[in-house]
């Protein structure tokens, strides 16, 4: 990654990049990378102390004041609304949004809104954050959305009749479904944004040694050992998201899935247009976001000059 940053030093000068879940893990290293290329980075997390420490780390690494931290629980819809308002008040536009915050929950939990936690945090958070910050992105000259997904999507389908896995919860199923949702969302959004300058791509970061899935004290030593043996570092896991957020090679690329900085075919199911549309509808309903302008065909009906001002 050092080469990537070295080659790209100055490339992100003046850009404002928001990275969710950047208080540690892959997100923190995305922030470090983009800041050292010249960007101002806005980090989020749901622990104040960890977030502030992450900001200090970024400033020290980039040798300038270039990081801000916003505390938000991204599994809570009310908090996402407040967070989006805060971002809009503080920054007149956003050049890059990296949807990265996510979790893996061994036991079934529910968010404050009564929604299964994996679905709420890993998918609805990406959906809502993106929708609520779209106007800020549209004010950038070359806006990019980067969605951190996972190869875990391959083993799953969308369980629309029991989306929140009330009947038969299984952590792998919940996680895989949420990561499939990341891809269906990415592709659907890219179709809806075709008439704009906004690009949206997804990626798998690799198997990465982070805190993901380590909340349970009993599981942690086992996960640490597996990570030690097989996983790459968080710094290495940040390479592809940094590439998608910054590289001139992908300026005009949208609606793609990347692994190791290369476009890769995702599962057959992830390309299903009907599933994508159904997921979009369900997401709108679960988030109480009736966003008519995001309906298919809407953008096509708008004269180009109006696309920038939805």
Ligand X SMILES: NC(=O)c1ccc[n+]([C@@H]2O[C@H](COP(=O)([O-])OP(=O)(O)OC[C@H]3O[C@@H](n4cnc5c(N)ncnc54)[C@H](OP(=O)(O)O)[C@@H]3O)[C@@H](O)[C@H]2O)c1
Please pick, from the candidates 26, 62, 94, 180, the single residue that binds ligand X as defined by CB under 6 A: 26
Residue 212 contacts ligand X per CB under 6 A:
yes
Closest distance of CB 102 from ligand X, Å: 3
Residue 73 contacts ligand X per CB under 6 A:
yes
Active site residue 169: no
Mask for 113-142, x = binds ligand X (CB under 6 A): --------x---------------------
61 Cβ contact partners less than 8 Å away, ≥ 6 residues apart: 32, 35, 36
CB nearer ligand X, residue 115 or residue 212: 212
Q: What is the spatial distance between Cα 148 and Cα 176, in angstroms, rounded to a whole number?
A: 13
32 Cβ contact partners less than 8 Å away, ≥ 6 residues apart: 57, 58, 61, 62, 235, 238
Beta bridge partners of 145: 97, 200
Closest distance of CB 129 from ligand X, Å: 10
Residue 92 near residue 65 (C-beta atoms within 8 A): no
Residue 176 contacts ligand X per CB under 6 A:
no
CB nearer ligand X, residue 47 or residue 251: 47
Closest distance of CB 75 from ligand X, Å: 4
The pairing of strands 257-259 and 262-263 is antiparallel
Main-chain phi, psi angles of 243, to 5 degrees: -60, -50
Beta bridge partners of 40: 16
Q: Catalytic pick from 126, 175, 187, 243? A: 175
Q: What are the DSSP E strand ranges found in the chain? A: 16-19, 40-45, 67-71, 96-99, 144-148, 199-204, 257-259, 262-263
Please pick, from the candidates 4, 50, 109, 233, the single residue that binds ligand X as defined by CB under 6 A: 50
Please pick, from the candidates 33, 38, 45, 143, the single residue that binds ligand X as defined by CB under 6 A: 45
Site for ligand X in 86-105 (CB under 6 A): 100-103
Residues within the interface to ligand X (CB under 6 A): 21-27, 45-47, 50, 72-75, 100-103, 121, 148, 150, 204-205, 207-208, 210-212
The catalytic site residues sit at 175
């Amino acid at each position: 990654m050092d080469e990537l940053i070295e080659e790209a030093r100055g490339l992100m000068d003046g850009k404002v990049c928001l990275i969710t879940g950047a208080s540690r893990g892959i997100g923190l290293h995305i922030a470090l990378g983009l800041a050292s290329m010249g960007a101002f980075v806005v980090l989020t997390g749901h622990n104040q102390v960890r977030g502030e420490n992450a900001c200090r780390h970024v400033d020290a690494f980039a040798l300038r004041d270039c990081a801000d931290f916003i505390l938000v629980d991204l599994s809570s819809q009310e908090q996402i609304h407040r967070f989006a308002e805060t971002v809009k008040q503080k920054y007149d536009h956003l050049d890059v949004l990296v949807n990265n915050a996510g979790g893996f929950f061994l036991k079934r939990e529910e968010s404050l809104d009564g929604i299964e936690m994996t679905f709420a945090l890993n998918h609805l958070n990406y959906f809502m954050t993106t929708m609520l910050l779209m106007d800020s992105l549209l004010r950038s000259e070359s806006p990019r959305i980067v969605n951190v997904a996972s190869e875990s999507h391959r083993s799953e389908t969308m369980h629309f009749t029991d989306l929140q896995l009330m009947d038969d919860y299984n952590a792998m199923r919940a996680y895989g479904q949420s990561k499939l949702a990341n891809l269906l969302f990415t592709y659907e959004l890219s179709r809806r944004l075709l008439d704009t300058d906004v690009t949206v791509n997804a990626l798998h970061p690799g198997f990465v040694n982070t805190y993901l899935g380590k909340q349970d004290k009993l599981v942690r030593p086992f996960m640490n050992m597996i990570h030690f043996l097989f996983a790459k570092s968080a710094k290495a896991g940040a390479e592809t998201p940094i590439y998608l957020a910054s590289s001139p090679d992908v300026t005009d690329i949208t609606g793609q899935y990347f692994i190791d900085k290369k476009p890769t075919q995702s599962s057959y199911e992830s390309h299903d247009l009907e599933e994508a549309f159904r997921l979009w509808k369900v997401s709108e309903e679960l988030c109480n976001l009736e966003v008519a302008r995001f309906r298919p065909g809407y953008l096509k009906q708008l004269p180009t000059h109006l696309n920038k001002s939805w």
